[in-house]
Amino acid sequence: MPPVLVIIDIQRDYFPGGRHPLVGPDAAADAAARVLARQREQGAPVIHVRHESPAGGGFLEVDTDGAEIDARVAPEAGESVIVKHAPNAFVGTDLHERLRALGAENLLVVGMMTSMCVDATVRAALDLGYAVTVVDDACAAPDLSHGGVEVAGEAVHAAFLAALGGAGAEVVTSAEVTGAS
């Protein structure tokens, strides 16, 4: 069985003009769209994950344009959409049950933010025994700071993907997934 594509939180608030823009979200969404198109061509399963924060939550707030899934990766009829309220897409949702019903063993993950929801969901999936492949260029992260140190989004993204690779996930590019050169 082909892997199940899990698209995590590619939502409008993460793009320029949104409440929490990331570094390189348009390039990541374009890459995710190519992976999604390939998945659809193969008739392989797709699960869309959409985060909703309560009103006043800062971003991805319920019933706002910013919480909407970006049109490039919008669900089509028959594709599952899971609404979550925690970084880990398995917490408080039926994601694990849906994956089990599909007979899934392998997951292909794209999404936002590399440093939060992608990281939390991939680690949980690994803990649950799934083989997980993360598509590097189909994910994006924010600039962060800690202790007076500013960390560029590109470095945040790379560090989290390196850590996920060290934890057992395979990290690939969209070209490797789609066969594009």
Measured between alpha carbons, how far is residue 64 from residues 13, 21, 58, 122 in Å? 9, 15, 11, 27
Catalytic residue among 23, 73, 108, 117: 117
Using CA of residue 67, residue 36, residue 134, residue 44, what is the dihedral sign?
A: positive
* Residue 117 appears among annotated catalytic residues: yes
Q: What phi and psi values does residue 150 have, to the nearest 5 degrees?
A: -90, 130
Cβ neighbours for 60, distance < 8 A, ≥ 6 positions apart: 9, 11, 13, 19, 20, 51, 52, 53, 66, 67
Nearest to residue 174, comparing CAs of 131, 140, 141, 137? 137
Number of CB atoms found within 10 A of residue 95's CB:
24
The tokens for 32 are 């995710």
Nearest to 47 by CA among 149, 159, 130: 130
Upper half-sphere CA count for residue 157 (Cβ side, 13 Å): 23
Which amino acids are annotated catalytic?
117
